[in-house]
């Protein structure tokens, strides 16, 4: 893995992109979640405000009934019904206390005491009368009336008791902190969020002076005046869970998507660029190692004409030219430029190789050919015709040579031909055929006439005439000399040994 | 961006449920004291709650009076002796007897008047408006001219000063169909002046 990253350009590129990209992804997701959170909070606050309004209306209805003492039990009942609402609390503004205190002071205690007094007298009278009544229906009616009267007396005593003392404010109803005091002052709903708990403090204000169906009566408070507030605690644990869950899943999703796109980029880059560059590199390495046949093969569909294609085509052209030049150089080094035959150096190397691999029981013959009166041709017709003559003779020799034969330009107008697996008589026949073919092949003298050339050929066979390559060449050379001496335009086989050369000379003309 | 909000947060559902519950509670609390069954009409009953908001002491007096308990008398077992004398069945339930309800509720079969105990709890019994007249029109005057009321204007709006006008009382007390005729018992004879002196059926006055 490390090697893959460290040594591949594509991997390095992808790593660099990832390092730049991923922080952006994380930041983008974070921003998205913040925005979502804000939207959700706005929604929660909107609904929270409505819920507060509902509580406010309910509170109003209770206040109108004068059931202030019932409020806490009412809201506790309400709270138990609302799982999302952690607590509901009424906050009393200072104005409310003024109003309630006035109501308390206005309560007519002496009159209430008089009522109690009268009722007790009435109760006593009924009690006395009851003793004399015998009719059961009448007795039941009277007992019912006495019970009612009794409960009224008890209720009146309660009222007198509670209204004769200063108004008691439940400590829970006092504003607790700066936020609640601010709501009472500004009449603006406030929200705070602390972890999983959202706190809403909504003002309870007088909508209009007088009475209305929805808000009841406020004769003592002015329109818009804040009487109190309602505090609601909502659990937003679910919201937070949702937000955090979304944060996590979004993050994972985005990162996975990013990694997937990076992988895709990696694959595409690798396919299109890096893989081809690597192949090209391999081909170059083969080329520099000496394999001039190294080429880069592009699949046909890749040939779209982009930079890689031009690079590959350039490389292939270069390799092709290099290979061509190399083979030209090689040819120049081993062949004679005029005749296209092997040069003497190349012949020596090839002949030595032939001798080294030559099997002793197999014959090997050598022909040494020389153009007759070549100097005269040069002198009379010019060197161009001389060159033409050499080319013509070389062509004839090549036409008649076998695949395994070595044909070389040995000297100025000398041609040497090594014939493997060929005995002296067969070689003699071949030489004769060459001589005849050359003699009958016309040569343009570049002046409008036709020339006919002749050659002299010496033939020697291994191991009949020599026991090594040098001696064989010498033997063939000697035979050629004999052919020249005996009048040219003939083929002569070497004698059995160099010592008997002269006596053993046989010419084809003699035969 | 919005898909997050739409897709993953069901907070609004939870909050709507809270809201619905809160409003339901608020509605119950309001309905207890603010019936809205009254048909829209100029001459209509509004129920004693509307009066009690301001006339707290008078309301408290009335609450303790036999007028306030008039509907209770229609229930079986109540006032057995007088019912038997008037040839009524003491064990029978008269709370849905149309002849009785006319004088034992407020505005029975009239606009804004008594319909049922559940629907119109503040038209049960002989309420303020049985003596002072249907309140819809004159209540508006009370509300808007607090402290400077004009008697003629109020009378024109349908308000009656019942303590000065026995005809209001005898409409029920001496109704020709009532089973409790003076011939049955002299206590059924109606003399407003006498009654004002000795019974506790009335609320304190403004004098």
Q: What is the pLDDT of residues B12-23, one digit of tens each?
A: 444 444 444 444
Alpha-carbon distance B85 to nearest alpha carbon in chain A (angstroms) = 11
Top mean-pLDDT range of A57-71, A102-116, A288-302, B79-93: B79-93
Residue linked to tokens 């959202």? A198
Both tokens assigned to A168: 């008691």
Q: Which of B2, B26, B57 sits opposite A58 (nearest CB)?
A: B26
Q: A residues 57-86 near B, CB within 8 Å?
A: 57-58, 61-62, 64-66, 74, 78, 81-82, 84-85
pLDDT of residue A195: 78
In this structure, the number of other CB atoms found within 10 A of the CB of residue A197 comes to: 15
Tell me how long chain A is.
511
Is B18 an interface residue toward A (CB < 8 Å)? yes
Do residue A32 and residue B146 have CB atoms under 8 angstroms apart? no
- Residue A302's pLDDT band (cuts 50, 70, 90): low
Both tokens assigned to A166: 């200063």
Q: Which of A367, A376, A404 is nearest to A508 (CA)?
A: A367
What average pLDDT does this structure show over A131-146?
91
- pLDDT tens-digit map of A306-317: 777 788 888 888
Top mean-pLDDT range of A162-166, A276-280, A367-371, B29-33: A367-371
- pLDDT tens-digit map of A6-23: 566 667 777 788 788 778
Return all residues near B164 (Cβ < 8 A) that are at least 6 apart.
none
Q: DSSP state, A273?
A: I
pLDDT of residue A511: 41
Q: DSSP state, A235?
A: E
Both tokens assigned to A212: 């209305």
Is B179 an interface residue toward A (CB < 8 Å)? no
What average pLDDT does this structure show over A405-431?
91
Residue linked to tokens 């709890």? B121
Reduced to 3 states (helix: H, G, I; strand: E, B; else coil), residue A193 is: strand
Element spanning A457, H or E: strand A455-462
- CB contacts, 8 Å: A55 with chain B: 22, 26
- pLDDT tens-digit map of A352-409: 988 888 888 888 999 999 999 888 888 888 889 999 999 999 999 999 988 889 999 9
The answer to whether the peptide bond before residue A463 is cis (omega within 30 degrees of 0) is yes
Q: A residues 418-447 near B, CB within 8 Å?
A: none
What average pLDDT does this structure show over A229-255?
77
ipTM above 0.85, yes or no: no
Alpha-carbon distance B110 to nearest alpha carbon in chain A (angstroms) = 21
In this structure, the number of other CB atoms found within 10 A of the CB of residue A244 comes to: 12
Give the rounded percent of residues in chain A with a pLDDT score beyond 90. Answer: 23
| Chain B CA closest to residue A218 | B53
Q: A residues 110-139 near B, CB within 8 Å?
A: 111, 115, 118, 135, 137-138
Write out the DSSP string of B28-89.
HHHHHH------S-SS----HHHHHTT-HHHHHHHHTSTTTTTTGGGSTTTTHHHHHHTT--
Write out the DSSP string of A266-326.
HHHHIIIIIHHHHHHHHHHHHHHTT-TT---PPPGGG-S-SHHHHHHHHHHHHHHHHHHHH
Q: Which of A36, A78, A238 sits opposite B4 (nearest CB)?
A: A36
Alpha-carbon distance B26 to nearest alpha carbon in chain A (angstroms) = 4
| Spatial contact of A482 and A492, defined as CB atoms under 8 Å apart | yes
- Based on the number of CB atoms within 10 Å of its own CB, is B57 exposed (0-12), middle (13-18) or buried (19 or more)? middle
Is A317 an interface residue toward B (CB < 8 Å)? no
Return all residues near A133 (Cβ < 8 A) that are at least 6 apart.
A139, A142
């Amino acid at each position: 893995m490390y090697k893959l990253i460290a040594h591949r350009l594509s991997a390095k590129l992808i790593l660099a992109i990832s390092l730049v990209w991923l922080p952006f992804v994380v930041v983008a997701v974070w921003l998205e979640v913040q925005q979502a959170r804000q939207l959700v909070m706005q929604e929660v606050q909107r609904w929270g405000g409505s819920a507060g309004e509902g509580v406010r209306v309910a509170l109003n209805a209770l206040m109108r009934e004068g059931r202030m003492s019932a409020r806490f039990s009412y809201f506790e009942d309400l709270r138990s019904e609302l799982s999302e609402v952690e607590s509901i609390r009424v906050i009393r503004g200072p104005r409310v206390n003024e109003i309630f205190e006035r109501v308390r002071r206005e309560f007519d205690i002496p009159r209430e005491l008089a009522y109690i007094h009268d009722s007790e007298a009435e109760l006593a009278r009924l009690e006395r009368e009851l003793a004399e009544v015998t009719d059961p229906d009448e007795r039941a009616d009277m007992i019912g009336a006495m019970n009612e009267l009794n409960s009224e007396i008890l209720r009146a005593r309660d009222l007198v008791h509670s209204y004769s003392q200063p108004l008691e404010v439940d400590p829970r109803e006092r504003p607790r902190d700066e936020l609640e005091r601010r709501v009472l002052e500004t009449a603006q709903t406030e929200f705070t969020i602390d972890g999983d708990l959202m706190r809403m403090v909504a003002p309870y204000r007088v909508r209009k002076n007088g009475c209305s169906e929805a808000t009841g009566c406020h004769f003592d408070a002015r329109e818009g005046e804040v009487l109190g507030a309602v505090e609601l605690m909502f659990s937003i644990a679910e919201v937070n869970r949702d937000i955090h869950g979304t944060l996590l899943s979004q993050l994972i999703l985005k990162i996975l998507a990013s990694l997937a796109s990076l992988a895709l980029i990696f694959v595409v880059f690798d396919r299109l660029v890096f893989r081809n560059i690597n192949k090209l590199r391999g081909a170059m390495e083969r080329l520099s190692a000496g394999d001039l046949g190294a080429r880069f093969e592009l699949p046909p569909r890749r040939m779209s004409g982009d930079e890689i294609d031009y690079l590959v085509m350039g490389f292939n052209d270069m390799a092709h030219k290099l290979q061509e030049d190399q083979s030209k150089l090689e040819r120049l080094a081993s062949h004679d430029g005029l005749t296209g035959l092997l040069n003497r150096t190349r012949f020596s190397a090839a002949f030595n190789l032939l001798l080294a691999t030559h099997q002793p029981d197999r014959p090997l013959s050598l022909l040494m050919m020389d153009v007759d009166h070549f100097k005269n041709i040069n002198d009379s017709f010019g060197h161009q015709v001389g060159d033409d003559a050499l080319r013509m003779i070389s062509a004839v020799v090549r036409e008649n040579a076998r695949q395994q034969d070595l044909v070389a330009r040995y000297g100025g107008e000398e041609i040497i031909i090594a014939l493997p697996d060929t005995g002296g008589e067969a070689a003699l026949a071949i030489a004769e055929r060459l001589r005849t073919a050359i003699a009958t092949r016309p040569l343009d003298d570049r002046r409008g006439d036709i020339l006919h050339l002749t050659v002299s050929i010496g033939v020697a066979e291994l191991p009949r005439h020599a026991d090594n390559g040098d001696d064989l060449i010498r033997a063939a050379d000697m035979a050629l000399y004999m052919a020249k001496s005996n009048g040219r335009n003939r083929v002569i086989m070497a004698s059995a040994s160099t010592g008997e050369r002269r006596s053993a000379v046989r010419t084809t003309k003699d035969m | 961006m919005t898909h997050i909000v739409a897709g993953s947060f069901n907070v609004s559902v939870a909050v709507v449920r809270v809201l619905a519950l809160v409003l339901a509670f608020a509605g119950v609390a309001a309905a207890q004291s603010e019936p809205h069954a009254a048909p829209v009409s100029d001459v209509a009953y509004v129920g004693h709650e509307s009066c009690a908001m301001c006339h707290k002491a008078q309301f408290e007096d009335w609450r303790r009076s036999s007028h306030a308990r008039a509907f209770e008398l229609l229930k079986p077992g109540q006032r057995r002796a007088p019912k038997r004398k008037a040839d009524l069945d003491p064990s029978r339930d008269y709370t849905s007897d149309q002849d009785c309800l006319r004088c034992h509720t407020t505005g029975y079969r009239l606009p804004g008047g008594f319909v049922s105990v559940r629907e119109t709890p503040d038209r049960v019994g002989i309420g303020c408006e049985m003596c002072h007249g249907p309140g819809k029109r004159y209540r508006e005057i009370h509300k808007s001219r607090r402290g400077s009321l004009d008697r003629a204007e109020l009378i024109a709006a349908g308000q009656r000063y019942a303590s000065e006008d026995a005809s209001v009382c005898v409409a029920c007390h001496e109704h020709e169909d009532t089973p409790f005729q003076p011939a049955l018992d002299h206590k059924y004879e109606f003399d407003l002046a006498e009654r004002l002196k000795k019974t506790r059926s009335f609320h304190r006055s403004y004098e």
